[in-house]
Amino acid sequence: MPIAETSVLSVDLRSDGGRIRLVPSGPLAVLASPVIDLINRVFADEKPISSGQQTIFSTWIPPAPSPAFDRMISSQIGAILRRRVPDQFSIAVVRACPNRCLHCAAPSRGGEVLPSETVRRVVNEALQLGSYLITFDGGEPMLRHDLPDLVASVDSRAVATSFSSGYGLTPDRARCLKAAGIYAVRISIDSPLAQQHDKFRGREGAFADALAGAESALKAGILTDLFMVVSPHNIDQLEEAYSLACRMGVHELSFYEIVAVGRWCDHLDETLSKGDISRLKAFHRSKNANVEGPRVTALPYLLSPEMFGCFAGRRWIHVDASGEALPCAYLPLSFGNVRKQSLADIWRKMSRYRWFSGKCACLMKDQAFRQDHSSILAGMHDERE
């Protein structure tokens, strides 16, 4: 089945024994082959969420075929030609949040809200730059009453997703988001155990909110991803998290790694080791080898240098609730403010920054990077509540 087609490159999707494989053809096929081979390496260990007229590989990947999927393939090839685009664009539409998470990357939870017209303008600028995944973040995005309108501003060139703690994701809100065209919702948890989750979130009832929010999304027909930030405190709960995802009936279970930033900035020794990343890789591959159950996406493995490398500043722009444009939500290094500058100008500056060349793991785990930016990172201490 053709899923991406231009005058110089065609990509066919083929299924063999339930596994997915991409096959390029056309004048650019040879150039595209390294990228396609890497994607196929991933698919060899994967199972799609669903297949039919469209194949949904993951909540992190647009459905195929679609204009957004075409853009994803184009961006991968463009990266080889050093024509990088911000594949992923996330924007914190509100800073407020009912929780007080121990690992929060943006601990100052004032009432900052980006104006709707600013959000819509910047989303359009991201689309013009080539983004295919637009994520609404926070704080708690569900506190924005106009969130469905913001989601609707994302056209077919990309898919729209949103993070949520579950707070405020009522059945009515979920139906409105579905009608607005949202692709997926990511419900964040810190432990599959209610007491531990609530303790990490700093609020009793946070776990119940997560479950209720996921149920609302599922009933509305929204792709639902259970998103767990993994630390040395919960690395031994992977199986329990997977069992919870199975019981809830979510489509995907995603793992991210805790970053020494924000309220966690003094805990550099409490981040994941290389052995932990290998453990996540093995878990990712073993669970995706099973036909049944939700797919698993271990981002520390997929974003490792052996795979696609960290996206921060290379393939990702994050805008915080004050308008500052950062390389990612966990790297507090501003390259401009979208209230005053165009996203194109900011991306031009960011993509040329010397630290954002080549593949690497998370820069916030790189001692040389942290030392080089020590004055900026020191400012995080002053922002914490």
Q: For 117-145, what is each residue's pLDDT tens digit?
A: 999 999 999 999 999 999 999 999 999 99
Per-residue pLDDT of 336-360, as tens digits, reads: 999 999 999 999 999 999 999 888 8
Neighbours of 212 (CB within 10 A): 17
- Tell me: pLDDT of 247 over 70: yes
The DSSP output letter for 287 is H
Structure tokens at 63: 């459905």
Question: Residue 127: which of 176, 163, 91 has the closest Cα?
Answer: 91
Q: Where are the beta strands (DSSP E) in the chain?
A: 2-5, 10-16, 19-25, 88-92, 133-137, 159-164, 184-189, 223-230, 252-257, 295-298, 316-319, 325-326
Spatial contact of 190 and 158, defined as CB atoms under 8 Å apart: no
Tokens of 21: 């494989």
> To the nearest whole number, what is the mean pLDDT of the chain?
90
Tell me the pairing of strands 184-189 and 159-164: parallel
Question: Does residue 190 surpass a pLDDT of 80?
Answer: yes
The span from the CA of 342 to the CA of 132, in Å, is 18
Residue 24: burial class (beta carbons within 10 Å; 0-12, 13-18, 19+): buried
Local confidence band at 81 (pLDDT 50, 70, 90 cut-offs): low
Q: In the block, which residue shows the tokens 């981040």? A: 271
CA distance 323 to 133: 19
Asked if the model's pLDDT at residue 381 lies above 50, the reply is no
Residue 224 bridge partners (DSSP): 185
- Give the distance, in angstroms, between the CA of residue 16 and the centroid of all CA atoms in the same chain: 28
Reported as a single tens digit per residue, the pLDDT across 278-335 is 999 999 999 999 989 999 999 999 999 888 889 999 999 999 999 999 999 999 899 9
Structure tokens at 40: 């196929």
Round to whole Å and give the CA distance between 227 and 224.
9
Helix, strand, or coil (residue 148): helix
The pTM of the full predicted model, rounded to 2 decimals, is 0.92
